[in-house]
Amino acid sequence: MASFTVGIVVFPGSNCDRDVAWALEACLDIKTKFLWHESSDLNDVDSIVLPGGFSYGDYLRCGAIARFSPLINALHDFVKSGRRVLGICNGFQILTESGFLPGALVANKNLNFICDDVDLNVITSKGGWFKKLDEKQKIKLPIAHGEGRYHCDQDTLKSLIDNDLIALKYITNPNGSTSDIAGITNKKGNVLGLMPHPERACDESIGGIDGLYTLKSLITQ
């Protein structure tokens, strides 16, 4: 799908933008385009990745200031159009702060910055972000975060469960996340936010390829 272009948003402080580009271009032969956060023209990209990092130095709260960028304002119409948005780590934090996804990400329960590979259960097939298998699917992805504890109130959790919006759960909860949640989707399924880094699991030589499918699904129409 040579004509398909994935936009990768670059905020001041993003640091996984080039990892995402490498994984998409080199591992999957998918064309990418970096989008500076001040741009609001999203017409020439077909899907968007909000990469990990420390946008605006995580000042105030992670993702709190990034949500005011022109690009995030333009993202509302992009999402309404049904095009796909993947928020990884800091990108997930930005999606919750901006109201695209419910809940919030707060400091890990043990206060450690956790850098590790974690085993995850795929919970929903909504949006087709993960392989559909008959049996419950398990994948392994790297995490690297200090503020990745997903928090929501009981009503929100019930809504996530009732609407089948929980995408990933930690098998062994590393950070104290509510209900072991590692990633969620919006109701339409075209927005996925997750703390693990699929772009760091796209080549066997660096430890695994369980992230490939999620990145490849960005070119699903």
Beta bridge mates, 104: 151
- Does 111 bind another protein (CB under 8 A)? Our answer is yes
**Which one of residues 12, 13, 128, 176 is an interface residue with another protein (CB under 8 A)?**
176
Residue 197 known to be catalytic = yes
Integer Cα distance of 22 and 212 in angstroms: 12
Stretch that binds another protein, among 21-29, 58-66, 125-133, 200-208 (CB under 8 A): 58-66
65 versus 85: smaller Cβ distance to another protein: 65
Residue 163 tokens read as: 């609407």
Residue 58 tokens read as: 């995580």
**Which one of residues 36, 82, 110, 158 is an interface residue with another protein (CB under 8 A)?**
110
Residue 145 known to be catalytic = no
Q: How far is the CB of 118 from another protein (least distance, A)?
A: 19
- Give the list of residues 6+ apart from residue 205 with CB closer than 8 angstroms, or none: none
- Does 104 bind another protein (CB under 8 A)? Our answer is yes
Q: In the chain, helix, strand, coil percent, each to 5?
A: 30, 30, 40
Residue 89 known to be catalytic = yes
22-41 residues in contact with another protein (CB under 8 A) are none
- Does 152 bind another protein (CB under 8 A)? Our answer is yes
Neighbours of 97 (CB within 10 A): 22
Identify the DSSP state of 5: E
**Which one of residues 107, 114, 144, 209 is an interface residue with another protein (CB under 8 A)?**
107
Stretch that binds another protein, among 81-89, 98-106, 181-189, 191-199 (CB under 8 A): 98-106
Tell the residue number behind the tokens 């709190």, with chain if given: 64
End-to-end CA distance of the chain: 11
- Does 161 bind another protein (CB under 8 A)? Our answer is no
Alpha carbon separation from 118 to 147, 172, 206 (Å, rounded): 16, 8, 15
Catalytic residue annotation: 89, 197, 199
Binding site for another protein (CB under 8 A): 60-61, 64, 68, 96-97, 102-104, 106-111, 149, 151-153, 176
